[in-house]
């Protein structure tokens, strides 16, 4: 009898222990997010935390279609200058403030007017809002803006509690209050961010964990070791070089998605005096450089085949990819001919600045040896990232190995980099036809017309080659085999609806 009782007790205890364990989901990030205020935030990893913490007006599908989240429906006026949105009536902020049209208006105003706001450029097309009913709002634009819905699928669309925001001001990020499925519990900077389940969320049943803990673990090996030792349930950004080994591990599952971003080499063609060099003035040299690249070989050597080779700001599987301009085959003879035509039959030197990260260095070392075969003598100038960014922005460079994390709307991957007034046009590239085509593409709501704009710009950009795209990162997640229901998204976010831990 006693034995039976003890066994029963033990079984009961272990069952409670298991369920208690199953209720916490521990996720390892590659770095520590910055301030947790959607309007002030600037890091990629911060957005991963927001996906559980802050619901957005709209969301995306894995195929990048815009779908309802806090907005249940929307419509544009004929001119594309008025967006009317119907809002959820069952959503509430973590502090009990109801979510309604007034809250949306307050959020848009905050993104636009708060001094610390990093969202100003994303919502710059909005000139005003009109609350039409308790759960209906009209957003007025100065000119048509095809990118706005995609912005609302990211930080600009994240709704914070107007009550909490008014009280906390710029310190909102220390105690963020949104309306997502999980609410903020505590943060120890560089150590962890803990969220707990928000029982009043309209879709609370879809979320299986009582708490979610985000742990920044920058070292790839240590992050993976934490997964293998069972200290975390899932990790972000498994190193491509670990992929083959981990796929063979029966206790670990892997999920992948090609990212929205790109990596490549940017040439300084018009940013200050440093642009006045053969590489900046003669597009033939830049095209010759591109012809020396074997992108698929780079993918195999540096990423063991885990990234996606590409030659445009959009990956080849994107609907915005221009198939009329496919990835060129490596052609050393053609590259040599172009060099000779440009007046450098004996080759030419090129200095490229590279962030001092192992992957970027490996990538550029492979590129270096490929280009050498055509007579392009590349010197790599490894710089710590903040230094490189400053030099690049100031135009103190000839060529630079940089990338972009990617945006849902195609405009976010191209417009600001190659238009004359573009905010991040470090290349200093300027071409009236490219400006016109990309401006038209961002204001049209017709998808076919937009694609035409991007394709038109691509033809010129391909000839001019101010940016030579090389590959698109793949997001790789690794998780314990008891985690089920995870869907990889190209935006690299962690959506926890339907994710469970089985025991």
Partner 1 sequence: MLSFLMRRAVIALPTVILISIFVFGLQKLLPGDPVLAMAGEERDPEVIEYLREKYRLNDPVPVQYLTWIKGVATGDLGMSLRTNQPVTELIGQKLPVTIQLAVMALIFAVVIGVPAGILSAVKKGTITDYVANVVALSGLSIPNFWLGIMLILLVAVNWQILPASGYVPPGEDLWLSIKTMLMPAFVLGTALAATLMRHTRSAMLGVLKSDYVRTARAKGLVERRVILKHAFRNALTPIVTLTALLFGELIAGAVLTEQIFTIPGFGKLVVDAVFNRDYAVVQGIVLVTAVGFIVMNILADAAYFILNPRLRKQ
Note the residues at the interface with partner 1 (CB under 8 A). Answer: 32, 34-35, 41-43, 115-118, 120-122, 170-171, 173-174, 188-192, 215-219, 221-222, 225-226, 228-231, 383-387, 389-391, 393, 404-405, 416, 423-424
> SS3 of 164, please?
helix
As a dihedral over the C-alpha atoms of residue 396, residue 400, residue 403, residue 409, rounded to 10 degrees, the angle is 60
Check if the beta carbon of residue 332 is closer than 8 Å to that of residue 374.
yes
Q: How far is the CB of 116 from partner 1 (least distance, A)?
A: 7
Check if the beta carbon of residue 76 is closer than 8 Å to that of residue 83.
yes
**Which H, E and C letters describe 374-434, residue by residue?**
CCEEEEEEEECHHHHHHHHHHCCCCEEEEEECCCCCCHHHHHHHHCCCCCCCCCCCCCHHH
Report the phi/psi class of residue 347: left, alpha or beta, with left for phi > 0 and alpha for psi in -120 to 50: left
Q: Which residues contact 401 (CB under 8 A, 6 or more apart)?
A: 263, 264, 265, 352, 353, 354, 355, 360, 363, 364
Which residue lies nearer to partner 1 by CB, 120 or 197?
120
Q: How far is the CB of 383 from partner 1 (least distance, A)?
A: 8
**Beta bridge partners of residue 355, listed in sequence order:** 383
Nearest partner of 495 among 180, 199, 264, judged by Cα: 180
Which residue lies nearer to partner 1 by CB, 296 or 430?
430
Which residue lies nearer to partner 1 by CB, 220 or 294?
220
Cα Rg of the chain, angstroms: 25
Which residue lies nearer to partner 1 by CB, 131 or 170?
170
DSSP 90: S
Q: How far is the CB of 174 from partner 1 (least distance, A)?
A: 7
- Expressed in angstroms, the distance from the first to the final Cα of the chain is 29
Which residue lies nearer to partner 1 by CB, 332 or 389?
389
């Amino acid at each position: 009898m006693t034995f039976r009782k003890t066994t029963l007790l033990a079984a009961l205890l272990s069952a409670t222990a298991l369920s208690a364990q199953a209720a916490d989901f521990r996720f390892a990030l590659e770095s520590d997010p910055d301030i947790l205020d959607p309007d002030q935030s600037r890091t990629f990893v911060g957005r991963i935390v927001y996906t559980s913490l802050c619901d957005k007006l709209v969301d995306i599908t894995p195929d990048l279609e815009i779908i309802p989240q806090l907005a249940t429906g929307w419509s544009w006026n004929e001119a594309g200058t008025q967006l009317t949105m119907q809002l959820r009536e069952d959503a509430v902020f973590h502090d009990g403030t109801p979510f309604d049209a007034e809250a949306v208006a307050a959020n848009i105003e905050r993104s636009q007017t708060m001094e610390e706001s990093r969202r100003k450029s994303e919502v710059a097309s909005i000139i005003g809002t009109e609350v039409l009913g308790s759960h209906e709002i009209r957003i007025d634009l100065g000119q048509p803006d095809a990118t706005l819905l995609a912005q609302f699928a990211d930080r600009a669309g994240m709704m914070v509690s107007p009550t909490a925001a008014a009280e906390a001001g710029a310190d909102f990020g220390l105690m963020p209050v949104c309306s997502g499925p999980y609410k903020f519990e505590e943060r120890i900077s560089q150590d962890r961010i803990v969220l707990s389940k928000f029982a009043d969320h309209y879709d609370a049943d879809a979320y299986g964990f009582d708490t979610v803990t985000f742990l920044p673990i920058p070292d790839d090996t240590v992050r993976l070791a934490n997964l293998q030792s069972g200290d975390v349930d899932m990790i972000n950004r498994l190193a491509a070089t670990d992929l083959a080994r981990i796929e063979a591990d029966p206790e670990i599952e892997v999920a992948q998605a090609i990212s929205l971003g790109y990596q490549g080499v940017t040439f300084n063609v018009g940013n200050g005096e440093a642009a006045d060099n053969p590489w900046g003035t003669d597009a033939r040299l830049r095209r010759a450089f591109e012809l020396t690249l074997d992108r698929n070989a780079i993918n195999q050597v540096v990423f063991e085949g885990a990234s996606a080779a590409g030659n445009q700001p959009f990956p080849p599987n994107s609907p915005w990819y221009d198939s009329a301009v496919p990835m060129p085959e490596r052609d050393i003879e053609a590259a040599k001919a172009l060099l000779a035509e440009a007046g450098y039959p004996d080759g030419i030197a090129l200095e490229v600045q590279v962030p001092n990260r192992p992957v970027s260095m490996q990538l550029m070392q492979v590129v270096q040896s490929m280009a050498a075969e055509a007579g392009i003598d590349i010197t790599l100038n490894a710089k710590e990232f903040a230094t490189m960014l400053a030099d690049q922005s100031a135009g103190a460079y000839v060529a630079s190995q940089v990338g972009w994390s990617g945006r849902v709307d195609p405009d976010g991957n191209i417009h600001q980099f190659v238009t004359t007034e573009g905010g991040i046009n470090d290349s200093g590239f300027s071409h009236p036809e490219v400006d016109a085509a990309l401006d038209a593409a961002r204001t049209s709501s017709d998808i076919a017309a937009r694609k035409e704009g991007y394709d038109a710009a691509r033809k010129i950009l391909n000839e001019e080659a101010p940016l030579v795209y090389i590959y698109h990162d793949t997001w790789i997640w690794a998780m314990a085999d008891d985690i089920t229901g995870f869907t990889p998204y190209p935006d690299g976010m962690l959506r926890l609806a339907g994710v469970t831990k089985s025991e």
